[in-house]
Chain A
Amino acid sequence: AQSVTQPDIHITVSEGASLELRCNYSYGATPYLFWYVQSPGQGLQLLLKYFSGDTLVQGIKGFEAEFKRSQSSFNLRKPSVHWSDAAEYFCAVGASGGSYIPTFGRGTSLIVHP
């Protein structure tokens, strides 16, 4: 069965600093990978996705993520964090193997200090 691990429950960064949120997955073939963001009191919004091709994908709000097959990782990055980036971030793997259910990680809460 596929799984997604986000090893960091909380990450604290200063405004203007760079950010990397980790995501590791367990999956037999090339996965469909997603990063979502959830602002306080809101639903989840897609940041970016990877299906195939270029392993570095660009998303909204200046975020990017890199798919590394050898490390089973899909880490999310941003070169300079803004206070408005404070939110919960979820990594997800798309459905596979006859299942209709995507798998979400437990989320990483990003705290931004001024």
Chain B
Amino acid sequence: NAGVTQTPKFRILKIGQSMTLQCTQDMNHNYMYWYRQDPGMGLKLIYYSVGAGITDKGEVPNGYNVSRSTTEDFPLRLELAAPSQTSVYFCASSAGVYNEQFFGPGTRLTVL
């Protein structure tokens, strides 16, 4: 049981490049979340999903897109990378709206 896995662990992008951050969970959780974490700023929700085919915006969705074609996977897409997207990105999943979240190890992204 691997829990929540994220790839890659680290990535450097140039301004304007695109990339997809991968997130997979093997706990059959319906709820999945993407957060970004900047120093001293806590967690900010980017997008979330309550089940396959259902996604919605969080607090800071601009510049990102998501899809949820399966229960297991919840990829985050950056279309035109900007320096403001330099951050650590965490994916999380949960069995239900009242349950605790399980977090992945994070992806550290730098945009230069």
Q: Which residues of A contact B (CB under 8 A)?
A: 9, 32, 34, 36, 41-46, 49, 51, 90, 94-95, 99-102, 104-107
Contacts and interface: CB of A to CB of B under 8 A. Distances in A.
Contacts of A104: 42-43
Contacts, number: 49
Interface of B: 4, 31, 40-43, 45, 48, 50, 56, 58, 90, 92, 97-106
A43 B106 contact: yes
19 contacts: A9-B40, A41-B106, A42-B105, A43-B4, A43-B90, A43-B103, A44-B92, A44-B103, A46-B102, A51-B98, A90-B42, A90-B43, A94-B98, A95-B98, A99-B97, A102-B101, A104-B42, A105-B42, A106-B42
A49 B95 CA distance: 15
A99 B58 CA distance: 11
